[in-house]
Each structure stands twice: as C-alpha cells, then as structure tokens.
Amino acid sequence: MPFDDLSLDNLESLFPAEYGPEKTARAKTAFFKNLSLALHRYYGGKIQVLPRCGIYSLNWFNLWYTPGVSKISTTIRDDRDASFELTGRGNTVAVVSDSTRVLGDGDCGPSGGLGVMEGKALLMKYLGGIDAVPLCIDSRGKDGKNDPEKLIDFVKMVQHSFGAVNLEDISQPNCFRVLDELRESCNIPVWHDDAQGTACVTLAALINALKLAGKPVDKAKIVLLGAGAANSAIARFILADGGRGENMAVFDNRGGLHPGRGDLRANAGAYRQWELCERTNPGRIDSIGEAVKGADVLIALSSPGPDTVKREWVRSMASGAVVFACANPVPEIWPYAAREEGAYIVATGRGDFPNQVNNSICFPGILKGVLAVRARKISDTMAIRCAHSIAEFASDRGISTDNIIATVEETDVFAREAADVAMEARNEGLARLDRSWDEVYNLARADIAAARSLTGEMKRLGFIREPPPDLMQEILRQTLEEMS
C-alpha cells in the first residue's frame, strides 16, 4: 500500500471484520504505535534545519557569518527588538518540556519527550508556517525531584532567542507555577499547550456541540472527569465564556471538587483546583455517578479507557447528551459505546474517529497570530477568542453531529485564528506591531503555503525519502500477530 493512501477508510479495511468495533479500535492503536516506531527509526527523527538565505558561492559566508554578521550583532545590541527582524527569532518558538507527563505515559525522563516535542515542532511548521526548536531539559534537583524553578530559570535565560515559548508535558503542580511565573516575567508569550491549548480547542468543540444540541452554555449542566492541568483550564474557560458554576461539577481521583475539600484548601497556592472548589459544585456531590445523572455534557480528560467512563453514566445523562472522551491513546469510553447508550454527540482526542478534539487545531494558529504582531503574552481572553474563531470557522462551512470542529486538513482555519488572535492582542494592548486583520491573515496563509510547498518539493526531489513499500505490510502483519 502506498504511504500516500494511509487514510481512515483504508485503515479500517485492513483488519478482519470479525474483530468488531472495540478490537478494531485497539488494533488501530497498536498499528499506529508500531508504524510510528518503525518510521521514526527509518527517518532518524522528524525535523531538520535548512537555510532560508541565498548561498550563491562560498564567499557569501562573509555576509552570513564573519565579518559581515558583526553589523547584525551591534545593531541588535543597540536595539534589542531588531532581533525580531534581523534573525529568525520573530517566527521561532521554543518547545520546552521536562518530560514529566508525556501524553498518557507519565514521566519518561528528560529526553523521553523529545519525540513528542519534535512532533510539536513539525506541526507548527506544516500547519502554521512556524519554525520551532524542541528543548527537553533535566529539571531534577539534588533530591531527585523535579524543581519548577529550574524550568523557570531556563526559559528566562533562553527567551532572547525566541518569539514565543510553548510549554509541554510538565506534571502538576509544577506546570501551574511555571506558567504563572513565566507569563508575567517574560517579555514574549509563554503558552502551556496542555492546559490553555486543550481548553481552547475543547471550548471550540463545546460551542458547536451545544449549538447542535440546542442547549445554551449558561443553562447546560456540565460534568468534568479529571482535574489535571487540562480539565482545570477547560473549566475556567467555560466559566469565563458564560458557563455557570452552580451547573458544573469537576471530579478528581478523590471525588468532587467543592468547598469541603480540605486537602486542596491546604495546597491552594500550588494547585489551581481550589479556585474551582470555590466556584463549582455547590451541592458538594462526591459521586460522579450521581453528578452525571441528567447532565448535558460530560468532558473526560482522565485515565485512558475504555471503561473509565461507564456505560450507565452515559445512559443516565439528559437527552441530547454531549460526551467528550479525550484521553489518549484510548478514550475513556469508545465512541460506539457512548452512542449505543444514547449520546447525541461524541468526541475524542483521536484522528481516526469523528470529532477529534486535538490541540493541533489550535496552537499553530494562535502562536502564528501572536508572532505576527510580536505580542508580549497570551491572555486567557486571547485563547477564548481563538476558541470562538475555530468554532465560527466550522459553523460557517457547516457542522453536524459527526463534524463539530475544524480539522487539520482545513488550512484556512489556522490563518483565520492567527488574524483573530492578533486583533485581540492588539485590542488588549499586548501587540508590538500594528498589523491589520488582512495583513496577519495573508502573512499566515503565505507562510503555511510555503512550508507545505517546501515539504512537497523535498519529497518530489528525493530529499525526503519514501519508506520501503513493504514496510506497512510488515507492520500490519506484526500488529495482527499481537492481536491474535
């Protein structure tokens, strides 16, 4: 099978019909993992560095390096903001992680998250026309514990080489401390994609899901399973966008968040969940099974399933129920199971099911927008504006129960996000450059098109090699053996 033909439809047909929906879903997960390992080994990673300037002879190094580059150094010395124009800084993001919470795999060691960070950099380039550098660091102190102050100091030291910083896969409560400090102390945007990015794209999907279900957000009863960085930010964004705390309940592995949670009150400075304890679940419900009865929305970002969310919970929800089961790699409940129990709309974090709620729809666009106007930070209102931009894009082209949110194949969504976010940054006085909506939109479209064209040309000319044609069949055979 040619690699260009790797699509959802083709992939479904690779597995025996007798597998059924659940075993097929597990087989696809195993296939993706096995093929990913083989292809990473084949390519030796996913990104590389290429020049953007002309090298017409070796004598041109006198311009790009010494002695000519001395003028660049002294110009930036006298005007620090000149670094955004005279170097690649203005379109470059640092992807920083200590790899303490890598996807669903936990603490993978300082370099264990490098594959994920390379993937983030790849998506930024291909989807947003942004250059990105993965930086996995060792934040452990002498006691072997991860020290958030090391992450903070590291970012402060490297910020002068980048236009923005994307924090990734940092365990809580360190992630809260790191983001809060760096958002205020750095002179460039610092973005925590696991929290703000997940909240942004989830809010976008929720806006359209509730529109289809005919349920206003201020009337909807919403239950969130999981109270980590992602769901904590999601709850805050929903509340900021019109949701009502008295209609919301958030659950962690100890029960419901509410004012009676003394364990969280005692750590209010470290854990941001105490704010949610004060604002939600006034009835102090501690059983999620009870809370979900009659609920309009269940948003799960917790332990991978497929039985984390029980069928009976979905069955007890209100008519027209919305279920987001977004754990990776296995959702808390399989989409087919949620639908069998009456869910009207189901979303997951996976691209091989309908309604993928994934950060890749968000971060390339929002980061492109802040880079385009040299924003000083990314506020929560900018992230919420991005959520509405994504929702509006999908709504404008048409939504349905199996198509509530834009996909990565819809290139224009990223340019629209960039322009909308840039205008919000300008309105909030956070933009250094005064660019119009059209200027940012056209810049983003051009950079995205250039990145994709360059990748296509490298493939066509053989600088990106196509894998051996029999590799996919070998991986399929391996996966079928594992599933037997």
Residues serving a catalytic function are: 65, 120
The separation between CA 107 and the C-alpha centre of its own chain, rounded to angstroms, equals: 18
Helix (H, G, I), strand (E, B) or coil at 41: helix
301 token code pair: 């970002």
Residue 80, classified by CB atoms within 10 Å of its CB into exposed (0-12), middle (13-18) or buried (19+), is: exposed
Backbone φ and ψ for 271, nearest 5 degrees, come out as -105, 125
User: How far apart are alpha carbons 124 and 130 in whole angstroms?
Assistant: 5
Report whether 301 contacts 223 (CB < 8 A): no
Residue 4, classified by CB atoms within 10 Å of its CB into exposed (0-12), middle (13-18) or buried (19+), is: exposed
User: How far apart are alpha carbons 256 and 259 in whole angstroms?
Assistant: 10
> 248: Cβ–Cβ under 8 A, 6 or more apart, which residues?
221, 222, 223, 224, 235, 238, 239, 280, 281
DSSP symbols for 142-163: TTSSB-HHHHHHHHHHHGGG-S
Report whether 250 contacts 280 (CB < 8 A): yes
User: How far apart are alpha carbons 375 and 115 in whole angstroms?
Assistant: 28
> How would you write 196-224 as a 3-class SS string?
HHHHHHHHHHHHHHHHHHCCCCCCCCEEE
Sheet with 92-97: list strands edge to edge: 131-136, 92-97, 164-167, 190-192
Residue 416, classified by CB atoms within 10 Å of its CB into exposed (0-12), middle (13-18) or buried (19+), is: buried
Amino acid at 81: D
Residues paired with residue 298 on neighbouring β-strands, in sequence order: 223, 323
